[in-house]
A and B are shown apart, each in its own frame.
Chain A
Amino acid sequence: QVQLVQSGAEVKKPGASVKVSCKASGYTFTLYDIHWVRQAPGQGLEWVGWMDPNTDNTGYAPKFQGRVSMTRDTSISTAYMELSTLTADDTAVYYCVRLVRKVIIYYFDSWGQGTLVTVSS
């Protein structure tokens, strides 16, 4: 079965960077885009960006442009999201999600368990 397993919780100081990993299994890693979605404590879901593991193409939400980088290592079926210049507002659970694309139908069908990133001095 499809599984996305993320790295563990992180605590970072303001101004630092964090890199979260997402290991995929149960399917061919390069056939599905990986997206990242975050959720601040008690808040809703917010899209961060996407990466095509096959081509290494990426796309980021405007508010994260210049501060986020999404990469992958196809040899170990793992995607990464790095967020820099962290502030307290970046404290959130970060999810990696798999995008299913069928012609004009798009949906996230599998989610990682989430990685809590806490930014605190």
Chain B
Amino acid sequence: QSLLTQPPSASGTPGQTVTISCSGSNSNIGRNTMNWYRQLPGTAPKLLIYNNNQRPSGVPDRFSGSKSGTSASLAISGLQSEDEADYYCAGWDDSLNGWVFGGGTRLTVL
């Protein structure tokens, strides 16, 4: 049972905007920056968002992150079929003294 809670699945049609939530507590999201990773089947996760809302170079601006209190979210606008993947939120937890990941959200493009 992860300390970060994500919905197991999300879906949308091409062109739509989808938002994936990540709920935590004061020991993780409330005090530390959050990151998001995308994992395509059979491959290693890849950094999508860091420091709550920053995109690494090469990540399209269709992807955006935000954080408020003990919750974070990832928004994907202009949904494309290649966005089908698993998405994970992650951050440091002060109580655990270690990194925690959300359980992951599988995004389906209908």
Contact of A44 among B35, B56, B88 (CB under 8 A): B88
B20 to chain A: closest CB distance in Å?
A: 14
- Number of A residues, CB within 8 Å of B: 22
Interface residues on B, range: 20 to 34
User: Which chain A residue has the least Cβ–Cβ distance from B4?
Assistant: A44
B residues sitting closer than 8 Å to A (CB atoms) are 2, 32-33, 35, 37, 44-47, 50-51, 56, 88, 90, 92, 96-104
Q: Chain B interface secondary structure, helix, strand, loop or mixed?
A: strand
How many A-B pairs with Cβ below 8 Å?
56
- What is the interface of chain A mostly: helix, strand, loop, or mixed? strand
- Give chain A residues whose Cβ lies under 8 Å from the Cβ of B99: 35, 37, 47
* Contact across chains for A45 and B44 when beta carbons are under 8 A apart: no
B101-A104 in contact (CB<8A): no
Are B47 and A45 within 8 A (Cβ)?
Answer: no
Which partner residue on chain A sits nearest B47 by CB separation? A109
Say yes or no for A105: interface residue by CB 8 A criterion.
yes
Q: Which residues from chain A sit less than 8 Å from chain B, CB to CB?
A: 35, 37, 44-47, 49, 59, 61-62, 95, 100, 104-109, 111-114
Asked if A44 contacts B101 (CB within 8 A), the reply is: yes
A105 to B103, CA, bound (A): 22
User: Given the interface contacts A105-B51, A107-B51, A109-B47, does A62 sit within 8 Å of B101 by beta carbon?
Assistant: no
Give the interface centre of A37, A61, A100, A107 by most chain B CB atoms within 10 Å.
A107
